Chain A
Amino acid sequence: MLELTPLIPALPLAGSALIACFGGRLPGQGSYPAIATLAAGWLIALGILGQTLAHGAHPPHWERSIVWAPTGDTVLRMGLALDGLGLAMLLVVTTVSLLVHIYSVGYMHGDPRYPRFFSFLQLFSASMLMLVLADNLLLLYISWELVGLSSYLLIGFWFQKPEAMRAAKKAFIVTRLGDIGLFLGLLTLFNAVGSVAFQDIFAAVDAQLATTTVSFALPLIGKVVWPLAAVAAILIFFGAMGKSAQFPLHVWLPDAMEGPTPVSALIHAATMVAAGVYLVARMYPVFHYTDHGSLALTFVAGVGAVTALMAATIGLVMNDIKRVLAYSTVSQLGYMMMGLGVGGYTAGMFHLFTHAFFKAGLFLGSGSVIHGTGTQDIREMGGLARRMPQTYWTFVLATAALAGIFPFAGFWSKDEILLDAWLNMRWVFYVGLAGGVLTAFYMGRLVIKTFLGEPRQPDIHAHESPAVMTTPLWILGFLSITAGLINTPWNPVFHHYVSFAQAEAPPFSLAIAAAGTAAAILGLAGALAVYRWELVSASTLRRMFRPLYVLFSNKWYVDEILYALLVKPLFSVCRAAFAFDRWIVDGLVNLVGWTGLVLSRIQGWLDRWVVDGLVNAVGYAVRGAGWLLTRLQTGLAQTNVLLAFAGLVALVWLLVYR
């Protein structure tokens, strides 16, 4: 079964090419082959899981590589590897991707570019699967960029909408900012280790990367001396920040909601945005080069905490159903980073695992709502529970999971993060707790405003979505309940597969679990109080906390700050460069050109009157001589003979008498 691993990314890749070439003529306009490739990958991943479970739940160790670029002494190898972490990611990606593929059959029905959509989805799936199977940083980076490309293509799928086009560009460019860091990190490690293979890098961490120090100057902080590992880790983390929408590079993700909702579910909730988390987990030995208090991990935790809290506050005030979910995603990604940052390797990845299912469920549910109502604004919704009961119930299940209600999936994973935070970094724990309250609040608000109460917009005649869409919803709803059960304190299966250095799971703490649950209930109760029971009206709250409301609804002005800090200076530089180019470079070029022109003129004049003159003079001379000689060419044989003998005489005279 393990030997079939390469097929998992290869099949969707082939499917992508196939659909791109013959999309319209394939069964189901290409959707059936696409689903088949992912179903096959999913079955292979399940088979591997089954095999390993049957053999005592030991994580698989499989790797295959080929010599890819032998460059002198450095031989770059390319290959795939599968371990517990990879297997967990494989299961997440294949499952969610398969469900999203199925869901898309209904959601994208009737779209003029239906086959193209599936081709892109396949490309994304293949890239994402390659990313999680890569055995070296370079292949990971390639896949990383490929998922970025797929993301760009899919956000801009409805490119006739200007917002979609802008969002696609924004997503691509903002994530690229982070990718620069990732690439620099890659180069740093390659330079230090001489290999991009993960195992070579990890083998060099303790001996080389942690002991070698580099000193450089940081703005605001001044001169610092850091271990090479910390520098590389933080550079790599910049990549993760871009892809996983961490503050301050999170701004692309809410805008990415312009893409089709299945895309939002797959790429911008469950898998691609989790790639950053996966990257940190994959490179964890580099991050974790000394101990829990390592610089890089603290940085990760800090960024994660800021992101989690800030995104949650913005989620409170958004009115677009998908944007609420997008900020929720950003917030949850912050949670995962927090978990990794505080040393909760398993906890962070576990939250990724559970979050993928319930957030995909939420997005697909929101897609179902949008499909049924034709709007994304929750102020125009309301009372949809009766019209769309299946969507409603699955949405509630996923919401409960996200809020962290016992025994739903989110409870288990969030609890682990809080536990690790409590043990290692106390302030992160409080941030997490606050985030939990906020999460529960905004999710409660979303459910209440969308599904409960009376329809606020009578023009909207909502209808339940077809079975092809609700079935994935139910499956994800089911997983929202059960996904957490694979890593309960008394049966930590997930922990067996995904753990760092065989660390034992921290002992379960009832107090922490109670605190988390209390936070969730508090948030939900608050939401009910405000939006359902209307003990305090929302507008009163808005007035009371006006500065905060303005701050939140303007998304903490991150876009504007980024614009002022990055885009405007960039434009200024561009303008300066343009001016430089225009006046100095062009001036020089023009000067050169003008000089050339003048020289050419002179040369032309010389050519015409001197060179041509000489040539013409020669010509005229020859012509004159010829004219003279033609006098000799009388055509008379006698004259020729006369000349011949005259020549003979002249020759003899010259040779003998001179």
Chain B
Amino acid sequence: MIPTWWPVALSALLFGIGLFGLLSRRNAIAILMCIELMLNAANINLVAFSRAVTPQMLTGQVFAIFVMAIAAAEAAVGLAIVIALYRNRERIVVDEVDLLRW
């Protein structure tokens, strides 16, 4: 039996790594990858909770499937944005995308 806190701890670490990448990487595609890491961390949590809280109904696993669908959609749209950005700027360095600047 794998205690519940093991996957939760794994999830936390994976989330931290993803977060660091999200905050640090300059390349837009890399940032998207990090977001996917964070989403995976969340999914690990959901599956772990499912096993601990609703072992018969598998609610957490259902949620994980939904998150995957959303993540796929997010990845598609995000990459489309990156492509559009690239087409406009020839670069996809997020540092330089500062239209929201004051």
Say if the two chains contact directly (CB < 8 Å).
yes
**Interface bracket on B:** 10 to 19
Cβ–Cβ contact B102 & A633, under 8 A: yes
Give the residues from 414 to 444 in chain A that come closer than 8 angstroms, CB to CB, to chain B: none
Interface residues on A, range: 10 to 19
When the two chains form their complex, are residues A634 and B98 in contact, meaning their CB atoms are under 8 A apart? Answer: yes
Q: Which of A375-383, A470-478, A636-644 touches B?
A: A636-644
**Contact (Cβ within 8 A) B102 A637:** no
Fill in one digit per residue for A614-650: 1 if any B CB lies within 8 Å of its CB, else 0. 0000000000000000100111111001100100000
User: In the complex the two chains form, what is the Cα distance from A633 to B99 in whole Å?
Assistant: 11
B23 CB to closest chain A CB, in angstroms?
5
Residues of the B chain whose Cβ atoms lie less than 8 Å from the Cβ of A638: 22-24, 31, 94
Measured in the bound complex, the distance between the Cα atoms of B44 and A180 in whole Å is 107
Contact A634 B22 (CB under 8 A): no
Measured CA separation A642–B100 after assembly (Å): 15
Closest CB-CB distance, A645 to chain B, in whole Å? 7
User: Inside 8 A of A633's CB, which chain B residues have their CB?
Assistant: 100-102
**B97 within 8 Å of A by Cβ?**
yes
B19: Cβ under 8 A from any A Cβ: yes
Q: Does B95 contact A (CB under 8 A)?
A: yes
B22 touches A641 (CB 8 A): yes
Binary flags per residue of B79-102, CB closer than 8 Å to A gives 1, else 0: 000000000000000110111111
Chain A contacts for B95, CB-based, 8 A? 636
Q: With a CB–CB cut-off of 8 A, which chain A residues contact B101?
A: 633-636
Is B102 a contact partner of A630 (Cβ separation < 8 A)?
yes
> In the bound complex, how far is the Cα of B22 from the Cα of A638, in angstroms?
7
Closest residue of chain B to A630 (Cβ to Cβ) is B102
A635 touches B94 (CB 8 A): no
Q: Which residue of B lies closest to A632 (CB)?
A: B102
Interface string of B26-67 (1 = CB under 8 A from A): 000001000000000000000000000000000000000000
Chain B residues, CB < 8 A from A645? 19, 23
| Residue from the list A630, A634, A635, A641 in contact with B23, Cβ < 8 A | A641
Q: What is the CA–CA distance of A105 and B97 in the complex, to the nearest angstrom? A: 100
The contact of B97 among A630, A636, A641, by CB within 8 Å, is A636
- 13 A-B pairs within 8 Å (CB atoms) are namely A630-B102, A633-B101, A635-B101, A635-B102, A636-B95, A636-B98, A637-B94, A637-B100, A638-B22, A638-B31, A641-B23, A642-B23, A645-B23
Further contacts, 4 of them, CB under 8 A, given A635-B101, A637-B94: A634-B98, A635-B97, A638-B31, A645-B19
